[in-house]
Amino acid sequence: MKWIAERDALIAQTLAFVQSVTGKTDELHPPEPPPAAFAVTTEIVTVRAVAVETDPAPAVSPPAPQPQSLQIPPPRPGGDFRSEMQARIANFRKHQERFEREREEYCAATLTKLRAALRDVGPSPPAKK
């Protein structure tokens, strides 16, 4: 494991540096002599380009367009960035407020239906003991 040896050497070098700066020695971990140099190996690989003939890609139909409720205009090249961001944030807030309003309406409608169904059922007969 080469990385373990490199890690241990780095720890030893750091400890030796700290000791030289502070003037203290560490009795628990005596400094290890740092390695003279890390061995670096390189390998030269020759890559040769090969021409490959492929069949033409099959025709793929584009996906069906998804309905989008929020249209974001492309950024203007010389426009005012601050005003554009404020407009986008305001649009986002309106979008989120609409979602929250729809959730509240759905919840209220569901609770109304549930309460009406409970009223229609009436009280349950007493349990026999």
Q: Mind listing the pLDDT tens digit for each residue in 74-98?
A: 666 666 888 889 999 999 999 999 9
Looking at per-residue pLDDT, the higher value among 87 and 50 belongs to 87
Domain ranges of the chain: 1-38, 80-123
Can you tell me the mean pLDDT for 16-44? 67
Question: What's the half-sphere exposure (Cβ side, CA atoms, 13 Å) at 75?
Answer: 6
Longest dimension (CA), the chain: 92
| Alpha-carbon gap, residue 7 to 35, rounded angstroms | 12
Give me the chain's average pLDDT, please.
77
**Which of 7, 4, 5, 29 is closest to 18 using CA atoms?**
29
Claim: this prediction has a pTM higher than 0.75: no
User: Distance between CA 65 and CA 71 in Å, rounded?
Assistant: 13
Query: What tokens were used for 37?
Result: 């140099």
- Phi/psi region, residue 46 (left: phi>0; alpha: psi -120 to 50; beta: rest), is beta
